[in-house]
Structure 1
Amino acid sequence: MSKKSLPTTQKQGKARLGDQIRSIADRLKQETDIQIKVTSKILGAAAQIAENHDRLITEVVDMVESDLNLESQVSQKHIYTIDILKQQFKTLRNAKAHFNLKVSSWESLVNKLNAPSYQISIKQHKTQSNQIYTNNAENYLNDIEKLIIFLEPDVAEMFPNSEAVNEALRFLIRLASKNCF
């Protein structure tokens, strides 16, 4: 009798083992499907990041060009006349305060402002301002470059935007911390 019950027990054990293997296979398939979806979202997000990077670089270049154009226009405007100063400042007192100069007439103010020594100080101030602006722009670009991630084209076409990439990365982080890859 024990011989007849043994095969039944073996069949039940094999059936349970088969069920466990199928269950594990199903879970692995689900995890694989999730990983594929996450990876595609990461790739889409990376593509969006690359697109945003190009847009930011273009914006920075446009800003620098605009500032350079403005500077060249300003440098051409440093020839002062009495009429221009009167229009801009209305009173001699306001003009003197703006330029921080001591003069007794509009004519003496124009002479001081158009004097070569005053023009040199304007150029020095502009050079210092440009250096500060250049340093700030370089720091900004360096900060942007630290945030940039480049994706291969096949990866990039899988993610529609940076939100998708971030979502996928967060999911992978949770999955990794949960499963301790």
Structure 2
Amino acid sequence: MSKKSLPTTRKQGKARLGDQIRSIADRLKQETDVQIKATSRILGAAAQIAENHDRLISEVVDMVESDLNLEKQVSQEHIYTVDILKQQFKTLRDAKAHFNLKVTSWESLVNKLNAASSQKLIIHTNQFFTNDNVKESEVNHNNIEKLTVFLETDVAEIFPNSEAVNEGLRFLIRVTSKNRF
């Protein structure tokens, strides 16, 4: 019994061990295939994100350029001349009443209207003095001079404080500086 059954048992043991090794190798191959597919999907998603990012940056730059061009056109449309005003109004009195301004001539009316339209956004600098009411972060930022900007109502609704304005402007600077090169 012992001599003939021993080799058979060894062969069966080797066969089981071989089957186990093959099984492990198959599982490793399957896991490798899954990892390759996952990596491929991740790389594809990263490429898509990069493409979307570039497209988004381009769209933002286009929107900003469009807004700037529109603002330039609007400001050019509001440049008044004596001839334009004379075409719109029969008399100087009618024009003065329409704009609710006190002037003595067409030229002074034109000057006041053009000066008013160019001052929609008033920017001025003022000395910055530190006192007990000033936050420490403001003191450290720039003790000498600050820039004060008056926002129009629609802009102030979106940018409720100076941090929001600065963040928006820094984003715009990054976007425009990236697309210059």
TM-score, scaled to structure 2:
0.51
The aligned counterpart of 2:28 is 28
Secondary structure, counterpart of 2:151 in structure 1: helix
Q: Counterpart of 1:74 in structure 2: which amino acid?
A: V
How many angstroms does 1:50 deviate by? 1.6
- Does structure 2 retain, via aligned residues, the 8 Å contact 1:78–1:119? yes
Q: 1:115 to 1:61 in 2, by over 3 A?
A: closer
Equivalent runs, 1:1-181 vs 2, <5 Å:
1-79=1-79, 81=85, 106-110=95-99, 112=101, 114=113, 116=115, 118-119=116-117, 121-124=119-122, 128-129=151-152, 132=159, 135-136=167-168
Structure 2: how far apart are the matches of 1:35 and 1:49?
Answer: 21
Structure 1: how far apart are the matches of 2:86 and 2:167?
Answer: 37
Q: Counterpart of 1:128 in structure 2: which amino acid?
A: L
Q: 1:59 to 1:127 in 2, by over 3 A?
A: farther
Secondary structure, counterpart of 1:76 in structure 2: helix
Q: 1:115 to 1:24 in 2, by over 3 A?
A: closer
Q: Counterpart of 2:151 in structure 1: which amino acid?
A: Q
Deviation readout 1:27-83 (Å, 9 max, x if unpaired): 111221222222222222222222221111111110110111111122223346486
> Greater CA deviation, 8-17 or 69-78?
69-78
Q: Counterpart of 2:25 in structure 1: which amino acid?
A: A
CA RMSD of aligned residues (A): 3.8
Which structure 1 segments of 5+ residues have no match? 86-103, 143-181
Structure 1: how far apart are the matches of 2:10 and 2:35?
Answer: 37
More helix by share: 1
Which structure 2 segments of 5+ residues have no match? 102-111, 124-148, 160-164, 175-181
Q: 1:10 to 1:79 in 2, by over 3 A?
A: same
How many angstroms does 1:25 deviate by? 0.5
Deviation readout 1:122-163 (Å, 9 max, x if unpaired): 233996257958854755999xxxxxxxxxxxxxxxxxxxxx
Q: Determine which structure has greater relative contact order: mean sequence separation of CA pairs < 8 Å that are 6+ residues apart, divided by chain length.
A: 1
Secondary structure, counterpart of 1:114 in structure 2: helix
Q: Counterpart of 2:26 in structure 1: which amino acid?
A: D
Aligned length: 123
More strand by share: 2
Percent identity, aligned pairs only, is 60
Structure 2: how far apart are the matches of 1:141 and 1:22?
Answer: 60
Structure 2: how far apart are the matches of 1:19 and 1:141?
Answer: 64
